[in-house]
Structure 1
Amino acid sequence: MSAIKSRDLSFGLSGMLTTCVGYTLILFMPLYLEFVGGHLSLNESQIGWLASTDAGGLALAALLFALLVKRLNFRYVVAAGCAIALIGNLLSIPINDFKLLCFIRIVTGFGEGLVVAAGITVIGMVSNPNRWFGIYTAAVVVVQGLGLIVLPGINDGFGVSGLFIFLAALFVLPFLVVSQLPSKANTELAESQVNDNDSSLSRLLLLALAGQLVFYAGIGGIWAYISLMGSEQGLAIDVVSRSLAIAMAVGALGGLAFAALGKRGDSRGLFALSIFIMMACAVGFYQFTAMSYLLILCVFSFFWSLLGARLFAVVSDADKSGKFISAAQTVLSLGYMVGPIIAAMMFERLAYHGVLMMAAISFLLCFILVLPLINKLRQADVLHRVNQANG
């Protein structure tokens, strides 16, 4: 195995494990909110705010990481983040006060964010980011599906305390691979890449990051309420959790499909079609049966994964300095934070219809904001091919 392939494998696998663990609370959010909300007798608005707490701390940590990425030792960052998240989950166990729990979850989210930011930046340092982001997205969805299967049993057997203990235990896993992480970002690559970026490309990258923000705001809004939507329309919790788990398994295929497509995954047509289908799924959640709930979830999850990998890959393709991919992680976390907050406000006015409308508009805005960067990269690729053909 060549040195580059060996390095990519080490960075890819350790980065994936680290990032997946950091994201566990976000991944398990529908059932987490249902169980904790029931335990504390929270209303729908409070549930929306609780959903934003971990994501808010995660966003803050990712932002600080992006600003300091060249100075940080990734191994120390992951170790510190795991310690904070582990302790925060254990401290959440005896809390019955909503405001105090929100504060603890923000701090816990900060630890989660350190773990995620370091892990995703390491994945962005491989030589073939399209493939690895596709595999990473599939891995995230597999973890999500497994968690949604396991969590109901933990809650039934041990209550909310068991749930927080389980979340805390997961943060032991990154310690197994922390030595495989690079200690620093590739600063030589970072400097050369920054110098090559003209101002127009930088502006397009910022627009793409804004597109990623609204995309994940839409996802976060639906994801915070997707379990409650099922319960409100008469579906039993075991039907909801099973449907979510199956949908996550299908979602893994979306990430793998993007990885298998390679450069063909850069197609503008595929991007447009995926956005349209996501919008259609948001409308489909307006009214459903148990079977249609499962079907819409599966389609939604597949294209969520495919688009998630695409959005990370387009940023990584445009700039491999580590600066923008870390910023992408920040805006993703911000999206997961502001999405449930906006959804909670929309719920107060229009109930679930407002949540779904907000999500559909977010997906459309994502398309509008990201398309210019996709077009720019396509033009650059065509010019590169012409130059090669001309010798």
Structure 2
Amino acid sequence: MQGKTASSFDPDRPLSIFAYAYTSAVGVAILMFGPLVIGAYVDINGMTETQAGYLFSLEMAGYALSSALVFAIVTRVNWRHILLAGVFIAVLGNITSMYLHGYAELAGFRFLAGLGAGLLMNVTIVSIGLTANFDRNYGFWAVTQLIVGAAGLYLLPGRISVYGLAAPFLAVTILALLVLPLAKSFPEHGRDAGVTPNKHNRLLLGLAGLLGIFIYYGGQAAVWAYFERIGMAAGINPGSVGSILSASIVLAVFGASLATWLGDRLGRRLPVAASMICSAIGISCLWGVQSVYSYIIAACLFNAAWYFCLPYLSAIIANIDSNGRMLVGLAIVFPSSLATGPALATYVLNDVGYGPVLWIGLLSLPAGLIIMWKAAARNSA
């Protein structure tokens, strides 16, 4: 992104970098807890797996709508006001959901919770795009998300067994309220676009990058949404499944930290391609999984590769972007793919097994890589 900020605010202050990273972790928390939440919908609230999948996708649809709203207002509305609105909406949706149990009554409020969480995430994405070293800062952004996710996956299973879905919903509410004192650490506005060379080429590259990211991310989200159910179907006890998923998030922290350390030393194509190969191996380990060891390998490879790749995906768009609009497009793509992937997985799910879901995850890897290949060049713009 080019040009000067509308004020003297420094987006690279350490407290600001922390605020972006922590708030992004709040925005994505319910996704990180997704396997546990979907499992609780089925095991505690008595929903079918199809209902649970659609309810989760509905929350991601709220996420996607928030991105479309931010896309429309990002150049006209104070970003801190968007942030505060996100906190209020997320808290309202999650607190109300604590007292509801049925599919129909939860649907609207889970959509609302997703809308609030999406507003938080959008503000962090565009804010990091203003920083000088976005490759490194997107890595720190991902690491913080993973730390919060790992803590939740470790602590929540026991609480869910006692308190039901009130446990994850209350956890997200508390995390969201802690964003309030950080609001002044966010910029109020973006930067002026200035003169943009090769505008048409940038647009085409940006759109290709966004489409490739959408396909890849949606496929991985489809598999992640049913990771807990796959483990349960393999006969692994719920406590062990939660511990394994938590451990896999720790490995994902390593993956994201490695991306933070590497930055763009190897460019972006090689790290993205390598991560997708590891993802394919991890997903393949889930086919007919019958041992806890295969499940551990699958979970650890899957999450380490996914979160190693994530900072590079964000940096691909930031590298092309000249005025912030593409970054807002990225903020649309992430939640849209998170809504589409699990919904598609739910649609193809059958009584035979989770094979169709795994195929979605596998096929999304080469398809996404091919489409984003040109955009992922070091100096693509």
TM-score per shorter chain, which class? over 0.9
- Distance in 1 (CA, whole Å) between partners of 2:322 and 2:301 is 31
> In structure 2, what is the Cα distance between the partners aligned to 1:160 and 1:80?
24
Number of corresponding residues: 373
Contact 1:231 1:240 in 2 (8 A): yes
Q: Which residue of 2 aligns with 1:242?
A: 243
- Once the two structures are TM-superposed, the CA of residue 361 in structure 1 deviates from its matched residue by 0.7
Structure 1: tracts of 5 or more residues without a match: 381-391
For 1:346 and 1:155, how far apart are their aligned partners in 2?
28
- Structure 1 residue 198 displacement after superposition: 2.4
* Structure 2 partner of 1:254: 255
Q: Deviations over 1:151-196 (max 9, x none)?
A: 112213322223322222221011020011111112x2x333xx22
When the two chains are superposed, the root-mean-square deviation of aligned CA atoms in Å is 1.8
TM-superposed deviation, 1:350: 5.7
**How far apart are the structure 2 equivalents of 1:197 and 1:121?**
22
Relative to the length of structure 1, the TM-score reads 0.91
Q: Is the 8 A contact 2:253 2:307 kept in 1?
A: yes
Aligned-partner residue type, residue 370 of structure 2: I
**In the TM superposition, what are the counterparts of 1:168-183 in structure 2 within 5 Å?**
168-183=173-188
Matched, 1:158 2:168: no
Q: Distance in 2 between matches of 1:177 and 1:283?
A: 42
Structure with the higher helix share, 1 or 2: 1
Quote the Cα distance in structure 2 between the aligned partners of 1:67 and 1:363.
31
Aligned twin of 1:309: 311
2:109 paired with 1:104:
yes
What letter is aligned with 1:309? P
Give the C-alpha shift of residue 279 in structure 1: 1.8
Query: Where does residue 62 of structure 1 map in the other structure?
Result: 67
What is the alpha-carbon distance in structure 2 between the residues aligned to residue 265 and residue 92 of structure 1?
45
Which digits, 9 at most, give the CA deviation of each residue in 1:72-122, with x for residues without a partner?
211111111111110111111222321221121111111111111011211
Are 1:123 and 2:128 counterparts?
Answer: yes
- Aligned match of 1:191: 194
Normalised TM-score (structure 2): 0.93
Return the alpha-carbon distance in structure 2 between the equivalents of residues 365 and 350 of structure 1: 26
The structural deviation recorded for 1:329 is 1.5
In the TM superposition, what are the counterparts of 1:132-151 in structure 2 within 5 Å?
Answer: 132-151=137-156
Residue 363 of structure 1 aligns with an amino acid whose one-letter code is L
CA contact (8 A) 1:8 1:127 kept: no
Residues 332-372 of structure 1: CA distance to partner in whole angstroms, max 9, x if unpaired? 10010010110011113763000000111111111011101
Structure 1 equivalent of residue 5 of structure 2? none
Q: Which amino acid aligns with 1:100?
A: E
Hey, what does 1:232 align to over in structure 2? 233
Aligned equivalents of 1:348, 1:104: Cα separation in 2: 28
Specify the alignment match of 2:361 in structure 1.
Answer: 359
Matched to 2:207, the amino acid is L
Q: 1:258 to 1:162 in 2, by over 3 A?
A: closer
Measure, in 2, the Cα distance between the counterparts of 1:12 and 1:159: 34
CA contact (8 A) 1:121 1:326 kept: yes
Q: What residue is the counterpart of 1:275 in the other structure?
A: 276
Q: Which amino acid aligns with 1:307?
A: C
Q: Which moved more, 1:234-243 or 1:195-204?
A: 195-204
Helix, strand or coil for the counterpart of 1:266?
coil
- CA distance in 1 between counterparts of 2:152 and 2:217 reads 20
Structure 2 residue 36 is matched with structure 1 residue 34: no
Residue 331 of structure 1, aligned match among 323, 333, 336: 333
Unaligned runs of 5+ in 2: 1-7
* Alpha-carbon offset, residue 283 of structure 1: 1.6
- In structure 2, do the counterparts of structure 1 residues 115 and 4 end up closer, same or farther at CA, with 3 Å as the change threshold? closer
Give the fraction of aligned pairs with identical amino acids, expressed as a percent.
24
Once residues 355 and 307 of structure 2 are traced to their aligned partners in structure 1, the CA distance between those partners, rounded to angstroms, is: 24
Residues 91 and 379 from structure 1, CA distance in 2 versus in 1: closer, same or farther, beyond 3 angstroms?
closer
Of the structure 1 ranges 261-270 and 310-319, higher mean CA displacement relative to structure 2 is found in 261-270
- Provide the residue aligned with 1:48 in structure 2: 53
Cα distance in 2 between the residues matched to 1:274 and 1:159: 35
